[in-house]
């Protein structure tokens, strides 16, 4: 008797499956479609997630941004509605008092400027930053370099221009570094071009900015000690949200407002935005797997059902096999192998088809985010084999009960 | 004794019990050619199924080549069937989606023989049956006589000691019936295969050396037919 799987057994299985081609194809289609749906949805979901996170690209995910605003509660004899401003001293103070912070970077910005170069002009936002701000919003330097700490210390009149500004002022292209552009009434030397296109940014997208050293901006726009906002990131592994109360109380003590006055100090936490997106996609993923696996299961139940019918129709054939020497185990394994082969073949077709379609999607969307992972395909194939065995189990047990005398039945 | 039946009883119980075999005693020696005759419903097929270990019996004892055939495991009975017995059925019972040669190979497949040898042996049996040219045809492309010869080749391929045939000519015309019976007779004469044929047709029964008449589940009489005078239509024809 036989206990191993070999080429003969495979032939035997394929012969049986090909005997009723149309039914085999229809049965396999359920599995094919289920797997296609599952993988296509998984790929599509991942692609969308990637496309969304592309917007945050180059932006430190654990950033906290602080903006001052009118107080909304009276405090120590002062009325509500009092205006106050963040200052450079706050930067130093936060650095000194909170060792968990990695970068503490002030920003001063100015809108409504016009920039000129030769005959061209454009309307950028001007952003004054410190060197370490580049760690928060990473520039994608196309030409030259980014603003450095020494630019800030020596108050150099230099600038890094965004992509749109570059295109407007230098329509012929080429490396603009070393050229002087005029912004308002001052001449600034271009030292770099930033091509980053992330849509998450602070105080105007970098696309549309002229970025200059913080110290220069403070002088030009006569801010004195005041700054518009302060950005902070935590050191590796530090979560920002729990730091918020301490930041608030430090600022409240310094600027004399009620520490419970949430409106006086607006705090933005990018971690929260990222985690909302993450949670959203975790939910979407869960749904995808639920729907996909549901479809697959329906396909497997279909296979099981049809195999059940097939077994009934094949009573005489199975009886003959038993009469000429097959043991029940032979019949059992044959039916299970038939089921596994059918599910695997149909499922592989589903895998291949979904990979093809996802490829087409990538070409159309111009984004290489959609293709499923190799291991996802392997996992799907494993899942399929298990499903195949399960689907074949009931029909196989029924087939095993067929007796050799049943070969004698006339149908 | 190759086959020894003692007081075999068989009752079918589908709702109401039907006592089909009511105490069969029968001995068949190696190399005998026996036919079983009897009215429809007398229990011939039931008896043959028991002889072929396709079905079990309720009472009595059946010894096959000295082994008691009772309460065998599926594996044991499959082994006996595969190695000692070849079956030929009225409706041929070939597997429709397999070619002639694949059908003939099947018993060897279940013995675990490799494909190449199996194929060779099956081809040699088809050649013996004069069916070499039909090896790769499917059953529905063959005539009844050809199909029955394929079935006989399949029955013979494991070198069984016994061929059990249930109305092997039942679906054939008289000319092919004669051919099939000549084939079985030749196997019996030349290769010493024990042959048991269930039939309604006296011409078919007349090929046998011994005719067992069954009536209402009992052996009515056993006729010695070594002279082959049983058929009123002569010894070389089968009247349909
Ligand atoms: N599986 C079964 N279940 C119940 N009754 C059965 C079964 N098989 C046969 N019988 C009954 O047993 C009796 C004997 O049947 P069997 O097939 O042995 O007769 P037979 O002599 O071969 O008849 P025929 O010449 O018509 O083939 C019949 O009455 C038949 O209806
Ligand atoms: Mg019968």
d(CA B200, ligand 2 centre) in Å:
9
Whole-number Cα distances in Å, B9 to B23, B32, B67: 5, 24, 19
Which residue lies with its CA nearest to atom 1 of ligand 1?
B12
Contacts of B104 (CB under 8 A, 6+ apart): B122, B125, B126, B150, B153, B154, B157
Residue B230 backbone dihedrals phi, psi, to 5 degrees? -65, -40
Burial A192-223 (b: 16+ CB within 10 A, else e): bbbebbbebbbbbbbbbbbbbbbbbbbbbbeb
Q: Give the bridge partners for B196, in sequence order.
A: B34, B164
Q: Are A379 and A50 in contact (CB under 8 A)?
A: no
pLDDT of residue A110: 87
Residue list, CB under 5 A from ion ligand 2: B 45
Q: Are A110 and A185 in contact (CB under 8 A)?
A: no
Separation of alpha carbons B136 and B142, rounded Å: 11
Separation of alpha carbons B93 and A318, rounded Å: 11
Q: Are B205 and B211 in contact (CB under 8 A)?
A: yes
pLDDT of residue B195: 95
Residue B24 CB less than 6 A away from ligand 1: no
Ordered mean pLDDT values, 10 residues apiece, chain A (411 residues): 63 80 86 89 86 71 86 84 90 91 90 88 91 86 91 93 92 90 92 79 78 91 89 85 89 87 85 80 87 86 89 89 89 90 91 92 84 86 88 92 79 49
Architecture of the domain whose range is B3-224: 3-Layer(aba) Sandwich (3.40)
Contacts of B197 (CB under 8 A, 6+ apart): B33, B34, B35, B36, B165, B168, B184, B204, B205, B207, B208
Give chain A positions within 8 Å (CB) of B159: none
Separation of alpha carbons A195 and B135, rounded Å: 74
Give chain A positions within 8 Å (CB) of B95: 317, 320-321
Ligand nearest to the CA of B89: 2
Which residue lies with its CA nearest to atom 28 of ligand 1?
B41
The DSSP output letter for A389 is H
d(CA A122, ligand 2 centre) in Å:
102
DSSP strands (E only) in chain B: 3-14, 16-28, 33-38, 59-64, 67-68, 85-89, 162-166, 194-198, 210-215, 218-224
Here the ipTM equals: 0.89
Ligand nearest to the CA of B43: 1
pLDDT per residue as tens digits for the range B102-114: 999 999 998 888 8
d(CA B69, ligand 1 centre) in Å:
22
- Give the global pTM: 0.70
d(CA A240, ligand 1 centre) in Å:
86
Which residue lies with its CA nearest to atom 12 of ligand 1?
B20
Whole-number Cα distances in Å, A309 to A16, A167, A305, A343: 14, 70, 7, 17
The SS3 call for residue A390 is helix
> Which atom of ligand 1 sits closest to the CA of residue B167?
27
Cross-chain Cβ contact A2/B110 below 8 Å: yes
**Nearest 5 degrees, angle CA B182-CA B185-CA B189?**
135
Contacts of B61 (CB under 8 A, 6+ apart): B4, B5, B6, B7, B8, B68, B70
Which residue lies with its CA nearest to atom 24 of ligand 1?
B40
Residue B12 CB less than 6 A away from ligand 1: yes
Nearest to B179 by CA among B169, B164, B189: B169
Residue B40 CB less than 6 A away from ligand 1: yes
The SS3 call for residue A125 is strand
Nearest to A230 by CA among A23, A64, A42, A347: A64
The DSSP output letter for A78 is B
By Cβ distance, the residue of A326, A405, A407 closest to B110 is A326
d(CA A327, ligand 2 centre) in Å:
25
The CA distance from A10 to the nearest CA of chain B, in Å, is: 12
Nearest to B105 by CA among A303, B114, B96: B114
Other residues' Cβ atoms within 10 Å of the Cβ of residue B194: 22
Q: Are B139 and B94 in contact (CB under 8 A)?
A: yes
pLDDT of residue A198: 63
Separation of alpha carbons A52 and A45, rounded Å: 11
* Overall average pLDDT of the B65-83 stretch: 90
Separation of alpha carbons B118 and B112, rounded Å: 9
Note which residues in 4-33 of chain A have CB less than 8 A from chain B. 7-8, 12, 15-16, 18-19
Length of chain A counted residue by residue: 411
Residue B49 CB less than 6 A away from ligand 1: no
Contact of B136 with chain A, judged by CB distance below 8 Å, is answered with: no
* Overall average pLDDT of the B2-6 stretch: 94
Cross-chain Cβ contact B111/A325 below 8 Å: yes
Cross-chain Cβ contact A15/B98 below 8 Å: yes
pLDDT tier, B210 (very low <50, low <70, confident <90, very high otherwise): very high
Asked if the model's pLDDT at residue B236 lies above 60, the reply is no
Q: Are A56 and A263 in contact (CB under 8 A)?
A: no
pLDDT of residue A1: 45
Contact of A375 with chain B, judged by CB distance below 8 Å, is answered with: no
Separation of alpha carbons A169 and A147, rounded Å: 20
């Amino acid at each position: 008797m036989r206990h191993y799987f070999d080429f003969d057994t495979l032939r035997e299985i394929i012969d049986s499956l090909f005997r009723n081609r149309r039914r085999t194809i229809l049965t396999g289609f359920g599995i094919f479609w289920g797997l296609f749906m599952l993988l296509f949805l998984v790929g599509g979901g991942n692609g969308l997630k990637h496309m969304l996170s592309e917007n945050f690209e180059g932006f430190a995910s654990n950033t906290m941004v602080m903006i001052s605003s009118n107080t909304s509660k009276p405090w120590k004899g002062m009325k509500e509605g009092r205006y106050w401003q963040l200052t450079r001293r706050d930067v130093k103070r936060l650095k000194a008092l909170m060792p968990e912070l990695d970068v503490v970077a002030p920003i001063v910005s100015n809108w409504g400027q016009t920039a000129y170069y030769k005959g061209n002009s454009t309307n950028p936002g001007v952003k004054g930053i410190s060197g370490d701000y580049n760690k928060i919003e990473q520039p994608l330097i196309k030409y030259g370099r980014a603003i450095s700490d020494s630019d800030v210390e020596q108050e150099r009149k230099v600038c890094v221009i965004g992509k749109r500004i570059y295109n407007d002022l230098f329509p012929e292209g080429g490396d603009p570094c070393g050229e002087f552009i005029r912004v308002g009434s001052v001449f600034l030397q271009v030292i770099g071009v930033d091509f980053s296109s992330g849509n998450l940014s602070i105080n105007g997208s970098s696309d549309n900015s002229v970025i200059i050293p913080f110290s220069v901006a403070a002088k030009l726009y006569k801010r004195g000690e005041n700054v518009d906002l302060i950005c902070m990131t935590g050191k590796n592994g530090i979560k920002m949200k729990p730091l918020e109360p301490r930041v608030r109380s430090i600022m409240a003590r310094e600027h004399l407002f009620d520490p419970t006055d949430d409106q006086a100090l607006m705090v933005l936490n990018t971690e929260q935005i990222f985690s909302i997106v993450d949670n959203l996609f975790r939910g979407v993923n869960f749904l995808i797997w639920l729907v996909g696996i549901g479809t697959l299961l329906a396909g497997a139940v279909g296979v099981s059902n049809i195999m059940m019918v097939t077994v009934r129709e094949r009573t005489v054939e199975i009886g003959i096999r038993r009469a000429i020497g097959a043991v029940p185990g032979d019949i059992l394994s044959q039916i299970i192998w038939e089921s596994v082969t059918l599910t695997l073949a149909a499922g592989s077709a589903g895998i291949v088809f979904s990979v093809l379609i996802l490829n087409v999607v990538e070409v159309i969307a111009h984004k290489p985010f959609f293709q499923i992972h190799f291991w996802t395909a392997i996992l799907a194939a494993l899942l399929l084999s298990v499903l195949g065995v399960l689907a074949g189990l009931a029909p196989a047990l029924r087939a095993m009960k067929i007796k050799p005398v049943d070969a004698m039945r006339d149908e | 004794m190759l086959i020894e039946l003692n007081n075999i009883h068989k009752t079918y119980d589908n709702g109401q019990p039907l006592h089909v075999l009511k105490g069969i005693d029968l001995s068949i020696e190696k190399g005998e050619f026996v036919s079983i005759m009897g009215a429809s419903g007398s229990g011939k097929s039931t008896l043959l199924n028991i002889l072929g270990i396709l079905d079990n019996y309720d009472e009595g004892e059946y010894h096959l080549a000295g082994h008691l055939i009772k309460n065998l495991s599926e594996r044991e009975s499959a082994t006996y069937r595969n190695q000692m017995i070849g079956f030929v059925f009225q409706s041929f019972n070939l597997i429709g989606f397999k070619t002639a040669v694949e059908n003939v190979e099947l018993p060897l497949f279940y013995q675990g023989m490799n494909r190449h040898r199996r194929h060779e042996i099956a081809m040699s049996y088809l050649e013996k049956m004069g069916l070499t040219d039909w090896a790769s045809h499917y059953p529905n492309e063959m005539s009844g006589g050809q199909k029955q010869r394929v079935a006989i080749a399949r029955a013979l391929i494991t070198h069984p000691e016994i061929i059990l045939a249930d109305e092997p000519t039942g679906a054939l015309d008289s000319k092919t019936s004669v051919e099939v019976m000549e084939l079985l007779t030749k196997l019996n004469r030349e290769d010493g295969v024990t042959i048991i044929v269930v039939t309604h047709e006296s011409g078919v029964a007349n090929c046998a050396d011994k005719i067992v008449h069954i009536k209402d589940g009992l052996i009515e009489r056993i006729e010695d037919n070594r002279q082959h005078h049983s058929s009123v239509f002569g010894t070389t024809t089968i009247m349909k």
